[in-house]
Structure 1
Amino acid sequence: MHKPRTFHFAAAVIAAGLVLAGCAQTPATSSDGPQTAAPVAPSGSPAAAAQTPKKPVTGQDPLKLPVGSLYKNPSNNRNEIILADVRHTAVLIGDSQSQPEGSWPRAALGSIGYKVYTVGRGGTGFVAATATTGNYIDALQRGDWVLPFGTPPLIVIQGGGNDAAHNVSDEQITANANRLIAALRKRYPPAKIAMIGTLAKGANDGGGRRTQVDALLGNIAAKAGATFFSVGDWVTKYHVGGDLVDGVHLNAAGHAKLSGILAADMAAAGLRLQPDPAG
């Protein structure tokens, strides 16, 4: 079993699901930047049966709102989605590696007890963006996708592959990753934060920039006090090269192989969802 590099400090995010961006409205300011109200229904949400909210609800008790409602939280001036069971939900922020329903990050989190709420989109990263969805921190600030109301126990950030593909500099990745972690910590102080690096071949097997970005993210996580799972050699180490459909993305068999390995590593790092205290 691969032993992850884990970094724990006293200070204790996150798939890219399909994101439906809404029309920009009047920006609101908050601790993590200006936001436009963007109705979204990320794939993989525990609120699977909820319809996409058209606009955020204000002035109501959020605990009485239907699951899937978009709520304007007055405490932070952010739009947040109402989940059915946020106390047992992991938030996964990621790219196309996390997007499929049975993706290796999502399946791993499910295996260690969590419901999974995914945000992000294929083609995005710490710096990389698409025509409709910003990079992770910009998407959060603009409201391209929204985070849950309440406090999830775990936030996982996965990515770096698109940053590697665009040859983004270490400095740009570091700056945006640190901004994202700071914003998530301010929003959810009690939540644990973990990072999954950039899936790649080993450094001696053609891993290239992807493997380098994985190592960079490990250093960022260490300094930020986040738990880190290095996957920058997993394609080679766990012999899933034959499961790559395009040199980067896995087929269903590859997702299944790596999800079990990641789940074991997460459990060994103490991230298994803990049962509620009696009573």
Structure 2
Amino acid sequence: MRKASAVFRMLAPLIAVGVLAAGCGTSQPSPAATSRSAAPAAAATAAAEKPRNVTPESPAPNLPAGSLYRNPANNRNEIVLADVRHTAVLIGDSQSQPKDSWPQRGIAALGYKLYVAGMGGTGFVAANDKTGNYIDALQRGDWVLPYGSPPLIVIQGGGNDAAQKATDAQIASNAERLLAVLKKRYPGSRMAMIGTLAKGAANGGGRRTEVDALLGRVAAKNNIPFVSTGDWLTRYDAAKDLQDSVHIKPSGHEKLGKVLAGQLAALGLAPRPDSDAAPQPTS
């Protein structure tokens, strides 16, 4: 018995080592090891759940031109255009709305395609019973901007603000708000403003001519090219082309469209040669 006890005392350490070794072979991995092994699977799951086209740099889904697309960069509906990189955006009132209006003619004559937003009876402050003023209508979604990066954005108006007796402060404030939104949304696009069509201060232009001058100051403050039209009805003998006190006949649209095209070109707003890469959509 004493010999057996002695043998057991000699073998006990070896038995203990074997048990520990066996235990290590079946132990659970450390939390760190679990985290590292699970990371690829978690990433794959997240990638599968992540919606497509969620960055402003991504192209819009394969939607036909005219479709609305919810831009995830700003959570706003935007319209998909067939060729946004060659399309100028025109925001305006009833002077811009006729298909062959002088603002549309002037911009198209430079070689741009056109996307027209806004509505007659509106302006920087002025609204009608269908839509708000330029900035409020945009914020509410009464009209939408294009998805992508148009090369040129032109804002025309002021006549309805004059008619509705908006103050200088109101007009300037809303114009600044609109410009801020457009600059943020389209930092790579060129911008221009067109003033208020009128007869001029010396020929009965009145408040319309004053608003034209005010918008010129807003444009200058924001370093945006401006086309003053506050005396065009007199300067270019277009008063005879009026069909009412403020709107012109097709003959007047043709005449002033040519004038506008020349002035926009002189301001360096003609289309630039295509670059190797199309502009990317921005947030």
Amino acid at match of 2:161: D
Amino acid at match of 1:141: Q
Amino acid at match of 1:210: R
For 2:154, the equivalent position in structure 1 comes to: 156
Q: Which whole-Å CA distance do the structure 2 matches of 1:111 and 1:190 have between them?
A: 22
1:228 corresponds to 2:222: no
1:74 corresponds to 2:72: yes
Q: Which whole-Å CA distance do the structure 2 matches of 1:79 and 1:63 have between them?
A: 13
Change (3 A) 1:220 1:132: same
Amino acid at match of 1:124: T
For 2:87, the equivalent position in structure 1 comes to: 89
Deviation at residue 275 of structure 1 after TM alignment: 2.3
* Matched position secondary structure for 1:124: coil
Q: Which whole-Å CA distance do the structure 2 matches of 1:143 and 1:198 have between them?
A: 25
Q: Which whole-Å CA distance do the structure 1 matches of 2:151 and 2:61 have between them?
A: 18
Deviation at residue 151 of structure 1 after TM alignment: 0.5
Q: Which whole-Å CA distance do the structure 1 matches of 2:116 and 2:249 have between them?
A: 19
Aligned residues: 222
Q: Which whole-Å CA distance do the structure 1 matches of 2:154 and 2:246 have between them?
A: 21
For 1:209, the equivalent position in structure 2 comes to: 207
1:197 corresponds to 2:164: no
Amino acid at match of 1:62: A
* Matched position secondary structure for 2:129: coil
Q: Which whole-Å CA distance do the structure 2 matches of 1:278 and 1:62 have between them?
A: 20
Deviation at residue 59 of structure 1 after TM alignment: 5.5
Deviation at residue 167 of structure 1 after TM alignment: 1.1
Q: Which runs of 5+ in 2 are unaligned?
A: 1-50, 54-58, 278-283
Q: Which whole-Å CA distance do the structure 2 matches of 1:75 and 1:170 have between them?
A: 34
* Matched position secondary structure for 1:190: coil
Superposed CA deviations along residues 63-102 of structure 1, whole A, max 9, x for unmatched, are: 4111111000001111000000000000000000001010
Q: Which whole-Å CA distance do the structure 2 matches of 1:59 and 1:142 have between them?
A: 26
Q: Which whole-Å CA distance do the structure 2 matches of 1:189 and 1:202 have between them?
A: 34
Q: Which whole-Å CA distance do the structure 2 matches of 1:249 and 1:63 have between them?
A: 41
For 1:107, the equivalent position in structure 2 comes to: 105
* Matched position secondary structure for 1:62: coil
Amino acid at match of 1:214: D
Amino acid at match of 2:249: N
The runs of at least 4 aligned residues of structure 1 exceeding 3 Å deviation read: 58-61
Superposed CA deviations along residues 164-212 of structure 1, whole A, max 9, x for unmatched, are: 0011100000000000000000000011110000000010100000000
Provide the alpha-carbon RMSD of the alignment: 1.3
Amino acid at match of 1:136: Y
Of structures 1 and 2, the one with the larger relative CO (CA 8 A, separation 6+) is 1
Decide which of 225, 245, 248 is 1:247's aligned counterpart: 245
Q: Which whole-Å CA distance do the structure 1 matches of 2:270 and 2:139 have between them?
A: 30
Q: Which whole-Å CA distance do the structure 1 matches of 2:90 and 2:230 have between them?
A: 19
* Matched position secondary structure for 1:64: coil
Q: Which whole-Å CA distance do the structure 2 matches of 1:226 and 1:78 have between them?
A: 25
1:130 corresponds to 2:128: yes
For 2:12, the equivalent position in structure 1 comes to: none
* Matched position secondary structure for 1:91: strand
TM-score norm. by structure 1 comes to: 0.78
Q: Which whole-Å CA distance do the structure 2 matches of 1:155 and 1:257 have between them?
A: 22
Amino acid at match of 1:110: A
Deviation at residue 215 of structure 1 after TM alignment: 0.1
For 1:170, the equivalent position in structure 2 comes to: 168
Structure label with greater radius of gyration: 2
Deviation at residue 274 of structure 1 after TM alignment: 1.7
| Greater helix share, structure number | 2
Amino acid at match of 1:147: L
* Matched position secondary structure for 2:100: coil
* Matched position secondary structure for 1:201: coil
* Matched position secondary structure for 1:193: strand
Q: Which whole-Å CA distance do the structure 1 matches of 2:207 and 2:52 have between them?
A: 48
Q: Percent identity of the aligned residues?
A: 64
* Matched position secondary structure for 2:269: coil
Deviation at residue 278 of structure 1 after TM alignment: 6.0
Change (3 A) 1:278 1:180: closer
Decide which of 108, 114, 117 is 2:115's aligned counterpart: 117
